[in-house]
Copies of this chain bind each other. A is one copy, B any other.
Amino acid sequence: MRYEMRLAGSGGQGLVLAGIVLAEAGLMDGNYVVHSQNYGPEARGGNSVSEIIFSDEEIDYPRALGLDLLVALNQRSCSDSLPDMKPEGVIIVDSTPVKKVLWGKVLRTPLQREADHTFQDPRVVNMLALGVLTPFCPPVTEESLVRSITQRMPAAALELSLKAYRAGVAHGHQLQSGTAFHELEDAIEV
């Protein structure tokens, strides 16, 4: 069993921390995990790419060979990642900035808008993303993610973080069952 995922978005969206939280939750759930964070000199304004590999055995090759899951928070990071997908992989995109996704299994949800408007704090976008992806990511459980968030987040930000995470999980379940506002049939646009 090897499961590969990528979180890709803009510098400042908290994806480094989201990657660590996922990796440590995966460890709690008994996986071997490698977390890789790629920074370019343009990373503050440009893209931040966080890759997490879960496996039931030691990971020799720590580079993603075929992504099972991609969460993309902007158009460029989404387009750049398409060649790295497994054919049956799932893509979750932030539906406001990501308009074009040439892929079969795409789920769209307005992550940054939700953080800005519903939670009045742009920084919780990473917690919302973690929540939404939870039902789609078999190697980690919701319980471990809650524990991992609790261990990693500063005390002052914890309550809001967990609230955003749980709202994300609820929305992820809606996306999974097709009852979310953004229907699956709208997802494939060119």
Interface, chain A (partner B; CB < 8 A) = 16, 20, 23-24, 26-27, 30-41, 43-44, 58-59, 61-63, 154
Question: Which of B30, B37, B41, B59 contacts A34 (CB under 8 A)?
Answer: B37
The 5 lowest CB-CB distance pairs between A and B, nearest first, are A33-B39, A36-B36, A27-B39, A35-B37, A154-B154
**Closest Cβ–Cβ distance, residue A150 to chain B (whole Å):** 14
In the complex, the answer to whether B63 meets A62 with C-beta atoms within 8 Å is yes
Contacts of A32 in B (CB 8 A): 39-41
* A38 proximity list for chain B (CB < 8 A): 33-34, 59, 62
Q: Is the CB of B62 within 8 A of A41?
A: no
Docked pose: A130 CA to B63 CA in angstroms: 26
- In the complex, what distance in Å separates the CA atom of A59 from the CA atom of B41? 12
Give chain B residues whose Cβ lies under 8 Å from the Cβ of A33. Answer: 38-39
Name the distance in Å between A16's Cβ and chain B's nearest Cβ.
6
Partner of A30, one of B24, B31, B35, B41: B41
Partner of A41, one of B24, B31, B154: B31
CB distance from A12 to the nearest CB of B (A): 11
- Given contacts A16-B20, A30-B41, 11 further A-B pairs with CB under 8 A are A26-B39, A27-B43, A31-B41, A33-B39, A34-B38, A34-B39, A36-B37, A40-B58, A61-B63, A63-B63, A154-B154
